[in-house]
Amino acid sequence: MRIGVFGGTFDPIHIGHLVSAEEARVELNLERVVFVPAGLPPHKLDHVVSPVEHRLAMVELAIASNPHFVVSRIDIDRPGPCYTVDTIELLKDEWGDEVEIYFILGSDSLLEILTWHDPRRLVRLCYFAVVSRPGYQVDLDELDALLPGVASRVRMLDAPELAISSTDIQRRVREGLSIKYQVPEPVEGYIHRHKLYHLTLPTS
Ligand code: ATP
């Protein structure tokens, strides 16, 4: 059995994430996709990240209409920072060896894999379902020379490239621009209701 794992800060979750997850599910015949919001993302320690309960609530709203999508609190309930390799190992222990894990990520993230904690161990533990992001071209031969074995673990997906990012959505909200259709409608409502990314403080 194959299960997709989609880690992210999801601040907020947007259409680029959802299209990627659905494409991975269909192309790779995944039994389900597990969204894993980061508690305290190790690579974003220098950023202000929205409270995890807000990010989790938005993921729940965004995936509610897809019976194949679920969310896990594994990186929220564990003291952080949580490294992907440890999360995947914990999930592998829970699901057993017969499950193949496909870690879903954008090409920008794959290009940074060498900066992650213990990438060699990660390559041994899972496959990578990679979605191209505009402006981030991956040269698999080059990457494989630096991280042997990674190329055989990568599945490049045929998802449409969407130049949508959480940072840009935050900026748009701050500047009073529309985010309609960039995030699912319930997520848009949640952002405005709780004044996330506005210049005033968010509500709890
Ligand atoms: P930021 O704008 O703050 O960098 P983000 O939009 O990349 O945020 P994250 O939650 O950090 O959102 O991303 C989680 C994962 O989703 C990463 O692997 C990232 O590469 C991938 N991803 C995000 N947006 C897209 C997109 N538009 N297309 C494909 N993959 C994406």
Can you read off the two tokens belonging to residue 187? 């997520």
Grouping H, G, I as helix, E, B as strand and the rest as coil, residue 154 is strand
- Domains assigned to the chain: 2-193 (3.40.50.620)
166: nearest Cα among 15, 5, 6: 15
Question: Quick one: which H or E segment has residue 56?
Answer: helix 52-63
Q: How many CB atoms lie within 10 A of CB 6?
A: 27
Q: How far is Cα 56 from Cα 34, in angstroms, rounded to an integer?
A: 13
Residues within 6 Å of ligand 1 by CB: 8-10, 16-17, 20, 105-106, 108-109, 131, 133, 162, 164-167
Name the residue at shortest CA distance from atom 27 of ligand 1: 16
Q: What percent of the chain has pLDDT over 90?
A: 89
Can you read off the two tokens belonging to residue 77? 């309930």
Q: How far is Cα 155 from Cα 107, in angstroms, rounded to an integer?
A: 11
pLDDT at 103: 98
Question: Quick one: which H or E segment has residue 82?
Answer: none
157-181 pLDDT per residue, tens: 999 999 999 999 999 999 999 999 9
| Below-50 pLDDT ranges, the chain | none
Query: How far is ligand 1, taken at its centre, from the CA of residue 79, in Å?
Result: 23
Cα separation values, 105 from 58, 96, 108, 120, 202, Å = 19, 22, 8, 17, 29
pTM: 0.95
Q: Taking the alpha carbons of 150, 133, 69, 86 in that order, is the dihedral positive or negative?
A: positive
Q: How far is Cα 161 from Cα 149, in angstroms, rounded to an integer?
A: 26
Q: How far is Cα 111 from Cα 106, in angstroms, rounded to an integer?
A: 9
Which of 165, 170, 171, 196 has the most ligand 1 atoms within 8 A of CB, as the residue to mutate? 165
119-154 pLDDT per residue, tens: 999 999 999 999 999 999 999 999 999 999 999 999
